[in-house]
Amino acid sequence: MVSFTRALALVAAAVATAATTTDAQTWCTAAPAVPGDRRVDTTKLTYGTYNAEFLFLVGYGSLACPGADCKWTSKTAAQTHIEAIAEANDRCWDREAQSEVIRGLMSSAVSSGNHVIVSGDLNDWSKSPFDHVKNAPISNVLGNLEGSGFHNAANYALESTRFSQWYDSNDDCTYTTKECSSLDHIIISNSLKSAVTNAKFHNDLYNASCGGYNSDHYPITVTLKPF
């Protein structure tokens, strides 16, 4: 049996989540004083990624930042995801260079005998697997990260469920899944493929809105069993 503690997580924006929708909202309401394993079922590990920058940076309602209790007081502090808006050549080059650096870290970790999970808002689509509306990637970010030795956990979810982000493309403030896509990803090393029991896009938790309190992203989780 390989211990879960050997899994190396290189995360862009990740949180541990519970296995059910109800638990996901109450599992960890505050960080404990003493770190520890808070899983109810220790026979599995559910790993999640969630981009909540919208809550801190856009400044809607009572969640406007910076505030006394806000951990992210600047865009620089909060933005750890891959460069956005890749249509411009310089941004495309930047994001692909960023993905090459991450890929180097991933490959190095595998070479050292570690299992690897890399996750976050990667600001592009994958062509293998496609999201629910079959968006074509606009850069080679996912091509770099999903190369030999690595696997996108979205392969374990139904294509119709693969969306993690809403973009109000016509600025009408009306949520529709046709405007949703998957910019968030969980990439695992091939050494973990046999441990995956399921992957889920938690896009049923709420409807994103342009003036509300929810993030414009949804969590994604992958559940692993000991192997």
Nearby residues of 224 by Cβ (< 8 Å), 6 or more positions away: 4, 7, 44, 45, 46, 47, 192, 195, 196, 197
d(CA 95, CA 98): 5
92 pLDDT more than 70:
yes
CATH architecture of the domain with residue range 4-224: 4-Layer Sandwich (3.60)
Segments of the chain assigned E as strands: 7-11, 14-16, 45-49, 115-121, 150-152, 165-166, 180-181, 184-189, 196-201, 220-224
Mean of per-residue pLDDT scores for the chain: 75
Domain extents in the chain: 4-224
Residue 174 pLDDT grade (very low, low, confident, very high; cuts 50, 70, 90):
confident
Q: Could you tell me the pTM of the whole model?
A: 0.74
Instruction: Report which of residues 152 and 209 the model is more confident about.
Output: 152
Residue 123 pLDDT grade (very low, low, confident, very high; cuts 50, 70, 90):
confident
Least confident of 48-52, 77-81, 111-115, 180-184: 77-81
57 pLDDT more than 70:
no
- Section 24-38 average pLDDT: 64
| CA pseudo-torsion sign 124, 59, 20, 81 | positive
In the chain, % of residues over pLDDT 70: 67
> What per-residue confidence (pLDDT) applies to 114?
94
Tokens of 133: 């509306």
d(CA 85, CA 79): 14
140 pLDDT more than 80:
yes
d(CA 119, CA 112): 20
